[in-house]
Structure formats: C-alpha cells, structure tokens
Structure 1
C-alpha cells in the first residue's frame, strides 16, 4: 500500500461525493449536488481545480459519470469479467495529477450493458470483505445494478430501469394521477410485490387505474403499490433459488424496499455499506496505480 494521500471523487449525474483519503483512512468528506448535469459546457477543468484546491491540491482519482460521454472525459469501458487491477490498468488522465476510472461493459451476443461508478463499489465490497468473493450483489437506484461476482471479479451484470420507470409512470403515464401517497415498505408495497408474481407487469400496471375507478384501492396507496410491482419484478427476475443471498449496497428507503421485496421473492438481503465499499475499491485502484 502506497499510503500517499489523494482525493477520491464519486461523481454522478446529479451529485458528487468527495473523500480525502490518507492510507486507508478517510480524513475528510463532503457531498454536494454538483453532478455532471450541473457543470456548464467547458466547465469541468474549473470545477475540478476548485475541488482540488479545497483539499490541499492533492492528486485526484475520479469515478462515475464524470468519465462518461456526457461528462468531462470519456474513460471508456473494461469488458467483464473485470477486477480492480483491470480498472487500474485503464485509467485515463485528462490533466496532470488527475485520473478517471473506466466503466465496465458487457457485450456478448444480443445483450449489451454498461455501468460506470458502480464497478468501484461492487468490487470494493469484495475487497473490503463486506461480501464474499462469489456472490450476487445489488445496487438499487434509478438504474438498478445486479452483479454476479465470481472469484472476486465482476463476472456479469444486468441493469434494470426500475427507478426511472417509476418516475416516468408517475410523471407521464395514465396511472400517474393515481400514484399518490408516500412510498415505503408498507402493506401496499408488499401487495405489489406479491401481485407481480401472479400477473403480467403491464396488465397489473393498468389495473392501478381500473382499481381506482372502481373504488377498490384506498386513496394514497397506489404509488407504493406500483413501486412494489416494479421492484418486485426486478427482484423476482434475479432470485433463482430459495434462500438466495443478495448483498444489497443501499441504505434508507431503498434498503427497506429492496429488503422487503427480496424476502417476499424468496431471498435474503444482506446490507452492505456502499460508502465503505467505494473507499475500499478506489483506494485499491490508487495503490495499484501508484
């Protein structure tokens, strides 16, 4: 381990989290809403310089959407199966003292998939011993990632547009008007998870409208029910055997929702600290590159 201090940034679409790391220790951290969509055209060098200046001008290692074709500099993709040394070997350096971690892609047959940012957390979870070397990992979100880890490598993965589909339905679909109320792992949510096992998803979604018209759904419960339908379908597609463990990189509401859905689908959720996983992954990449 090099032990040299550096600045690590998990830079996503809508927010970014910065870590000042010395050895294996995080000595300072900050989070803001300066995701890549908040940076004006040509503004990344200035934004990076300001962030670097706030943390002593140390070298930086960036991960996430900052390295996408919509970010600062396209860092490309490493094909799966991939491990942390593969990521370290393909870092891209747009400026002196600054490197960007590549994403991971799957491009076999008719199924293509990509991830950017999640690979550091998924592999970092294995590096930190937060999940075993052979495991099924899930990182929920707008685009939920399900990763198969084999021998400590990211062997395969699938992305599901679960969170984005919920947002699109609520904002633009016919059933959006019915999707009122808070979403939590309550009875309505669990009802949706159970229903997706017996009905096809598209028909079940239209049923939200019909149930509202016919007075068969209590006001304020449809949003949780639809969330249950979507997350339940997502989980049922991945859990292939009773009691299957899913290492879940989530906290708060998403942890509650996916834990409940995984249990109803016959699996067992094991919560993993995603921030600790990121720090372990990015630190290992830094040490390899150094």
Structure 2
C-alpha cells in the first residue's frame, strides 16, 4: 500500500488545496485490473504491480517534489478474459466516463498533470483514448497515459526472446515479479500455454500480424489458452522477479524525475491555423 506521505487522499482538504496549486503539481493514478492470471497468480496481479512499483518510485523521489498518488483503480477493462471465474470488467464507456469525471475534478482543484500509471495491457488503447477525451474537457490538465512494461530498458536481456515476444499474460515475467513482490500470493503450478502449446491452434498469426504489436488482433484468452496463461511460467523465480523490479523502478524513477524537472506538456493555448 502506498505510504500516506505519497497519497493525495491521506491529506486534508487545505493540504490538498495547497498541494495542487503548487507549480508542476502532478497526480499519478495507478490502474490495474481484476482478472484471471492463470491458476498460479491472483486476480489483483496488475493492480498490485501498478501500486507496488509506484510506491517504490515515489519513495525514492525527493520528498519536496509536487507529486502524489491516488488509490489504485483495481477493476478495469478486461473483456478478453471473460469466461474465467473472478474476472470483473468495466465497459469501455464507463471507464472513459470515470476518467473524465475524476480528472475534471482534479483539474478544477488545481492539478496540472495527471499520469495514468497502467499495468494492464488490455486497456492501453482505451486509456489513451480516455486521456485525449479528458484533455478536450479540461485543456489545462496535461494527461499522460503510460504502460508499466513499455520502453523499459534491459527487459530483453532478462527474458528469453520468445517469452519476451509471446509471454503476454501470467507467463515468466509476471509470475517472477509476483514471486518478488508478494510470494505468498503465488500458487505452485507453473503452466505453459497459449501460442505454440495447443496443436489445435494455428502456430502463429499470419505473416505481419501478431497478438500485440504493430498489427494486433482483438483476441480472447479462451481462444488461445485453457489455463488462462499465454506464455511459459516454468522458469519463474524470485531472483528474476527482483531483476525485473529493479529495471521497472529504475525506468520509472528516471521518467518521473525528467517529467517533474520539465515544463512538459505545454499549457493549453489557442493555435491559429
């Protein structure tokens, strides 16, 4: 759980007023999901990752910086995991409306930036669209949607090439990271499932296409996997999880330091064409 020192909701209203009226005031909203992660990982996997990594990053930033976190949004947009018990999913329009309403109130209170710190791959595009919609409603609020695993240097060196490309869900990376962050929540099974592991499925998408990437398709987990895993978790370890955690923290610490030291994004202004 995030330290009260880093949580906006741990402040009183006069403290929030003063905080959000500081130059460069930045609010980070961690996003996860409540969805199946195979037989070995909890439903809260993405939410836990977003909150725990953000906690470490905020604790390492200088305490005088104007940055605070909201409580994690623990239920997201997860229709691809429908059919597996425990998966809960908000509709796309509801999640967009939630972001618009909360973001608008933050903007009205004086916040200058809102970072959407998302750990669920299935809602990357939706949060990008929601961010643009919120910005149209409140041009004074810079909205920065990001994905926990995107652009992190060094991940390729830690994961086998095929797993880095195809271990999309509850595979080696996520199982290892959970072993490092909350080992008591990890079950004993180590499934390998999804592409290349079910002879009734095509071995790969057609040339130039992929499950995710430059030319993705809208897939459902139940079409690819009987266990809910898309990837190979057999070599998962706490040691690998610690290395992944260090890479993630280093990456996001650098990104937040750069953001808070900058004037980016530019304040809204009318551009005459």
Q: TM-score range by the shorter chain?
A: 0.3 to 0.5
Decide which structure has the larger Cα Rg and report it.
1
- Choose between structure 1 and 2: higher strand proportion: 1
Normalised to the residue count of structure 2, the TM-score between the two structures is 0.37
Normalised to the residue count of structure 1, the TM-score between the two structures is 0.36
Give the number of the structure with larger relative contact order, counting CA–CA contacts within 8 Å between residues 6 or more apart. 2
